[in-house]
Amino acid sequence: MDIGFNKGIAVIEPKHNEPSTAKELHWRSAGLTHVGKIRRHNEDSFLERSDIGLWAVADGMGGHSAGDVASQMIVDSLNQVTDEDSLPQRISQIEDQLLQVNQHLIEKATEGGQRLTIGSTVVALLTYRDLGVFIWAGDSRIYRHREDQLQQLSADHSQVELYVEQGLISREEASHHPHANMITRAVGAADELFLDMDMCNLRSGDRFLLCSDGLTKHVTDLEIRDLLADGDTGAAANNLVDLSLTRKAADNITVVVVDIF
């Protein structure tokens, strides 16, 4: 993917609800990454920390320098998040880790007197009691499958998403637009990192999907909905990647499926 311009939007601060008295929820997950059919190197990385309720997908910026380094640095950094007592503490840890990675990548990009671009998207899901918090920068997505309905919870930070919002192109035209690979935010792409954040209530039976755009370039939302509707956690992850591989699969493909029960 390519970086377009950086659009400064403040972080959305979630409203911290009172703890639920509902029965305790649990979660399990399965993650899978594949280099795809065209690329020689896999610049995607993912994190599974079901023990603390934290998952992430990072998609290194292909065509730029050290995209795999950037995505792995994000995952390694988020892996240091600890099981703090409160939701605000956990969110702050995630934000702090990503801000530190952003600074490290900027410094790395300017080594030797030249200005490179070393960056990666990120999408993360944090579960806490009956709440799910999702944080992202770039066009890696998080979906929720609930009662046979699929909802995209994140909004792409991409050039074509801006065109759609401005009414310049349709949603159908976006995937085939010449600027389809241009993102407007990424970790490491600008001195100041802007993250979006939102939250939702969790229900038993919810299934979440975190994925890089290597999946969504070739698999439609309708197909994602159908594949998330059946099978256990691991089978759902495998089926999504397998379907993408039957298509062009020009990019790396990464999925993390999280089941709430």
Q: Answer whether residue 17 is part of any domain.
A: no
Q: Answer whether residue 20 is part of any domain.
A: no
Q: Answer whether residue 23 is part of any domain.
A: no
With a threshold of 0.75, does the pTM exceed it? yes
Contact 210, 141 (CB under 8 A): yes
Q: Answer whether residue 104 is part of any domain.
A: yes
Tokens of residue 14, six digits: 């979630």
Q: Containing domain of residue 94, as a range? A: 2-8+30-260
The amino acid sitting at 18 is: E
If you write DSSP's letter for every residue of 204-236 in order, what string do you get? TT-EEEEE-HHHHTTS-HHHHHHHHSSS-HHHH
Q: For position 164, what pLDDT does the model report?
A: 79
Q: For position 8, what pLDDT does the model report?
A: 30
Distance CA 152, CA 200 (A): 12
Contact partners, residue 20, CB within 8 Å, separation at least 6: 129, 130
Q: How many domains does the chain have?
A: 1
Q: Answer whether residue 18 is part of any domain.
A: no
Q: Answer whether residue 199 is part of any domain.
A: yes
Residue written as token pair 């795999």: 68
Q: Answer whether residue 168 is part of any domain.
A: yes
CATH of the domain at 126: 3.60.40.10
Q: Answer whether residue 232 is part of any domain.
A: yes
- For the chain, which ranges sit under pLDDT 70? 1-22, 62-65
Contact 234, 256 (CB under 8 A): no
206: left (phi over 0), alpha (psi -120 to 50) or beta: beta
pLDDT tens per residue, range 207-239: 999 999 999 999 999 999 999 999 999 999 999
